[in-house]
């Protein structure tokens, strides 16, 4: 249990009511996710079984094998899962291993079938054994992290300082990330290349070109993790690595993150729906599987509520952030994540011209802190109201850092004064880290002394936002199709996304009664 002091006087019955409503909203979505699969879930299963690499055109073998399965079996390839036909072919001797099978299938020399009877039993056992080996690797990587933290040492205190790097070239990212760690960053996030979330495949190998970011690939993960391990030993503290498990390949990237010992992954339940127009059903199915993998891998997820405030007003829409946090908590715990893995997002995005804006920011930040006392909340810096005035921006980031110190945030993303002007230079990052270090060194323990007046603006505003969140969830429960209708209506971030629309819908299928996926079977029985 948390030892944090309660300062807002939140009614425990009201907080329980909030979580009860979040469960009422979320349970139909979980039922929907359990009753469906996607091409990305099936490809992630193949990756966990060891299938990697790509053809000469750069198309991953998991994609090629999945495409052949759908061509040979039609709807049954998803409805019954890819594991049975693939391991049936291996058991029958059509190939010696998964890669060879994928190559032969892509060349048209192997046809897949859906086995039955004893053939299905043998395929099921072989598939489970192969996937269990991959999940065993994920387990070993988690143990390896725990051992390194114990041997090398951890960041001395919260909040962890979280800094983004991304040049497009992984070999340029590495020295920038190492330099950032030496300047005080505890978490390095390699932001993903623009548009990767819309690719229905994971690029292969180390990549040297990317627009406004670097591609998330298994090799890029391996290279950066190895470089940060080297720097961790140099500094005497374990430096964590973050990337993005989102988009059309969310489950696959989650699997790769577990295999390569990433420590945090951006993984929001609704971000891809709202801001990338990915089909809602596909997103909810993919996010449940990805969170099961993250739970197993000991990865902390970062959710994306801050993005709502880039399109909606941060005062008027504050309750949608709280609602999303409650939903993300429900979905995450249902998938097996623990409180210490819930980097729930919130942001410092109120227009600084609004009277009492800093007090309002404190109210929102403290509400999140007290609703989720054991979660390492991810506190996001101002972006929407950065104007290009670097002096004002630097000051605004200082206020953001102070709000984080006053309210005891867990993960503090470093704000850049050149936000909205350029992709920050190394020198910009150095100045931003100086800002963070000054504030935290001067005021880092002020959350112990900060006690808002019981009848003051901060407390009243927090209670108002929580009440509005409860009202919103009650309205969502009244919708015929619950959360799916609310998303279609533009409730979150002003984005209207109908359940029957969006990218990736053709990669979703309802599962048959005899559907088999060894990955979900192992993850759920061991949770």
Bigger pLDDT: 248 or 426? 248
pLDDT in tens, 168-184: 999 999 999 999 999 99
**How far is the C-alpha of 256 from the C-alpha of 353, rounded, in Å?**
44
Mean pLDDT of 392-402: 96
pLDDT in tens, 309-334: 777 889 999 999 999 999 999 999 99
Active-site residue identified among 268, 286, 306, 397:
306
User: 357: which residues sit within 8 A by CB, 6+ positions away?
Assistant: 350, 351
Taking 60 as the threshold, does the pLDDT of residue 8 lie above it? Answer: yes
Active site residue 333: no
H and E: helices and strands count for the chain: 20, 11
- Residue 38, by phi and psi: left (phi above 0), alpha (psi -120 to 50) or beta? beta
Active-site residue identified among 88, 186, 378, 397:
378
Mean pLDDT of 392-416: 95
> Which domains does the chain show, CATH number per domain?
36-132 (no CATH), 158-458 (3.20.20.440)
Mean pLDDT of 293-307: 93
Residue 5: what are its φ and ψ, rounded to 5°? -80, 130
* The pLDDT value given to residue 3: 57
* The pLDDT value given to residue 304: 84
Taking 80 as the threshold, does the pLDDT of residue 422 lie above it? Answer: no
Active-site residue identified among 162, 238, 271, 308:
271
For 373-390, what is the HEC assignment? CCCCCEEECCCCCCCCCH
Closest listed residue to residue 512, CA positions, set 7, 66, 84, 106: 84
Mean pLDDT of 106-111: 96
Cβ–Cβ < 8 Å for 165, 192? no
Q: Tabulate helix, strand, coil % of the chain (nearest 5).
A: 55, 10, 35
Strands 264-266 and 240-244: parallel
Mean pLDDT of 494-506: 92
Bigger pLDDT: 3 or 442? 442
% of residues, the chain, pLDDT over 90: 86
**How far is the C-alpha of 452 from the C-alpha of 447, rounded, in Å?**
11
pLDDT in tens, 177-209: 999 999 999 999 999 998 999 999 999 999 999
Mean pLDDT of 333-350: 96
Structure tokens at 305: 């509520």
Cβ–Cβ < 8 Å for 361, 402? no
Bigger pLDDT: 135 or 428? 135
* The pLDDT value given to residue 1: 41
Active site residue 104: no
Closest listed residue to residue 248, CA positions, set 219, 281, 222, 294: 281
């Amino acid at each position: 249990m948390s030892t944090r002091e309660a300062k807002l006087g939140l009614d425990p019955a009201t907080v329980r009511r909030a979580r009860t409503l979040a469960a009422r909203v979320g349970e139909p979505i979980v039922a929907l996710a359990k009753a469906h699969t996607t091409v990305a879930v099936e490809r992630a299963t193949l990756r966990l079984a060891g299938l990697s690499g790509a053809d000469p055109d750069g198309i991953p073998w998991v994609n090629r094998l999945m495409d052949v399965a759908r061509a040979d079996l039609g709807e049954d390839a998803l409805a019954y899962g890819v594991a049975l036909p693939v391991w049936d072919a291996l058991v029958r001797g059509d190939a010696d291993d998964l890669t060879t099978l994928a190559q032969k299938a892509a060349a048209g020399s192997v046809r897949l079938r859906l086995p039955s009877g004893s053939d299905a039993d043998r395929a099921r056992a072989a598939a489970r054994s192969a996937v269990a080996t991959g999940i065993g690797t994920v387990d070993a990587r988690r143990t390896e992290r725990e051992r390194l933290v114990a041997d090398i040492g951890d960041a001395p205190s919260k909040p962890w300082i979280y800094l983004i790097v991304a040049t497009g070239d992984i070999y340029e990212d590495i020295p920038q990330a190492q330099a950032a760690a030496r300047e005080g960053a505890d978490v390095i996030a390699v932001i993903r290349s623009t548009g990767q979330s819309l690719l229905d495949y994971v690029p292969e190998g180390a990549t040297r070109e990317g627009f406004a970011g670097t591609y998330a690939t298994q090799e890029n993960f391996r290279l950066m993790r190895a470089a940060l391990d080297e720097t961790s030993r140099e500094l005497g503290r374990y430096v964590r690595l973050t990337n993005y498990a989102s988009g059309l390949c969310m489950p696959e990237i989650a699997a790769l993150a577990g295999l390569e010992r990433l420590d945090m992954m951006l993984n929001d339940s609704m971000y891809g729906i709202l801001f990338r127009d990915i089909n809602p059903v596909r997103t909810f199915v993919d996010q449940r599987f990805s969170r099961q993998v993250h739970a197993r891998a000991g990865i902390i997820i970062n959710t994306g509520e801050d993005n709502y405030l880039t399109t909606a007003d941060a005062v008027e829409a504050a309750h949608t952030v709280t609602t999303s946090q409650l939903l993300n908590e429900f979905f995450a715990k249902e998938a097996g994540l623990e409180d210490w893995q819930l980097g729930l997002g919130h942001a410092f995005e109120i227009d600084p011209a609004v009277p009492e804006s800093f007090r309002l920011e404190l109210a929102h930040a403290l509400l999140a802190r007290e609703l989720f006392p054991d979660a390492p909340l991810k506190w996001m810096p101002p972006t929407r109201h950065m104007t290009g005035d670097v002096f004002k921006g630097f000051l605004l980031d200082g206020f953001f850092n102070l709000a984080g110190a006053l309210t005891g945030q867990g993960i503090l993303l470093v704000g850049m004064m050149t936000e909205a002007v350029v992709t920050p230079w190394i020198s910009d990052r150095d100045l931003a880290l100086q800002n963070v270090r000054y504030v935290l060194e001067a005021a880092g323990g002020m959350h112990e002394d900060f006690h808002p007046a019981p009848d003051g603006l901060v407390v009243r505003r927090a209670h108002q936002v929580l009440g509005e969140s409860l009202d919103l969830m009650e309205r969502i429960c009244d919708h015929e199709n619950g959360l799916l209708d609310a998303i279609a209506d533009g409730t979150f971030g002003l984005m209207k996304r109908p359940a029957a629309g969006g990218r990736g819908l053709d990669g979703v299928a309802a599962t048959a009664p005899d559907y088999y996926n060894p990955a979900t079977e192992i993850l759920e029985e061991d949770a």
